[in-house]
Homo-oligomer: A and B are copies of this chain.
Amino acid sequence: MSTYAPASATRPGRPRVIPRAASAATPRDEILHAAAELFVNRGFAATSTRDIAEKVGIRQASLYYHFAGKPGILAELLELSVRPSLEKVERIERECPAEVPEAALYLLALIDADTLATVPHNIGRLYRMPDVRSSEVFGEFEPALQELTAAYGRLGAQVVSGPVAATVTTDQLGGLLIQAVEVVIRIRSRGATVTPAQARAIAATCLRICGVPEVRIARASVTADEHLYPGTMIRTIGDQAHTSK
């Protein structure tokens, strides 16, 4: 089955023999991965820097060499789940051909679904956790999330049908669209992987939510393809299964 493979997924059947040297991951990445797994599965408040250091196999002091404590790690993980999509919004808006405005929302949804499908340990879940929302770094992250939601609303409003425009504000549309793409988080929470075909179906769903007719959705998909390849718009589409939740 063709699935998204996170860039840093361990290869199946290849247990790490020599702890550090055999891995391409930097100590910094290893800390982020370990923290992601602990935060998502155990909770942010319930995880200590000692837990993280132990999981990586380093001393607690070494962890502080790379990060200013738990909030710094959380801040970086939160960024990871939003920043890659947000960074591409400007490019999408600039490059999308005027005659196929639907391709812009399609591309954003596809790229964002890809981001959420490939981040380690389904960290898209983090920002909804109460202990994360009440943490000191959440306030710094929230504007980025609002900016991404606003981008969904803006791109959606450009292609919205009459009945949708009459019943859904641009702000509400942004919420409906980002919510739809976050089905990726739901799928991964159940232990399943998200295939590229599913990501495309999610992008098409976003256009349907806006009331875009099927012929224009098909055209948006073709136009989006021309801008995805060759390119850096999508990070990883592999055919390698991964098991991280």
In the complex, the answer to whether B186 meets A179 with C-beta atoms within 8 Å is yes
A181-206 CB mask vs B (1 if < 8 Å, else 0) is: 01100110100000001101110110
Partner pick for A186 among B129, B161, B175, B218, CB 8 A cutoff:
B175
A240 contacts partner chain B, Cβ-Cβ < 8 Å: no
Partner pick for A167 among B179, B182, B200, B209, CB 8 A cutoff:
B200
Which of the candidate stretches A35-43, A65-73, A79-87, A93-101 sits at the interface with the other chain? Answer: A35-43
In the complex, the answer to whether B131 meets A167 with C-beta atoms within 8 Å is no
In the complex, the answer to whether A130 meets B41 with C-beta atoms within 8 Å is yes
- Assuming A45-B43, A201-B167, is B176 touching A180 (CB within 8 A)? yes
Interface centre among A45, A130, A180, A200 (most CB of B within 10 A): A130
Complex interface: chain B residues within 8 A of A201 (CB): 167-168, 172
Chain B: CB-nearest residue to A39: B130
CB distance from A165 to the nearest CB of B (A): 11
Judged by DSSP, the binding face of A is helix
A14 contacts partner chain B, Cβ-Cβ < 8 Å: no
Copies of this protein in the complex: 2
The CA-CA distance from A176 to B183 in the complex, in Å, is 6
Interface centre among A125, A168, A179, A217 (most CB of B within 10 A): A179
In the complex, the answer to whether B175 meets A183 with C-beta atoms within 8 Å is yes
In the complex, the answer to whether A214 meets B167 with C-beta atoms within 8 Å is no
Complex interface: chain B residues within 8 A of A198 (CB): 172
A163 contacts partner chain B, Cβ-Cβ < 8 Å: yes
A17 contacts partner chain B, Cβ-Cβ < 8 Å: no
Give A145-161 interface residues, CB cut-off 8 Å to B. 161
Interface centre among A176, A200, A205 (most CB of B within 10 A): A205
CB distance from A126 to the nearest CB of B (A): 10
In the complex, the answer to whether A128 meets B163 with C-beta atoms within 8 Å is no
The CA-CA distance from A105 to B149 in the complex, in Å, is 27
CB distance from A85 to the nearest CB of B (A): 17
Partner pick for A43 among B131, B161, B204, CB 8 A cutoff:
B131
Chain B: CB-nearest residue to A167: B201
A114-150 CB mask vs B (1 if < 8 Å, else 0) is: 0000000000010011110010000000000000000
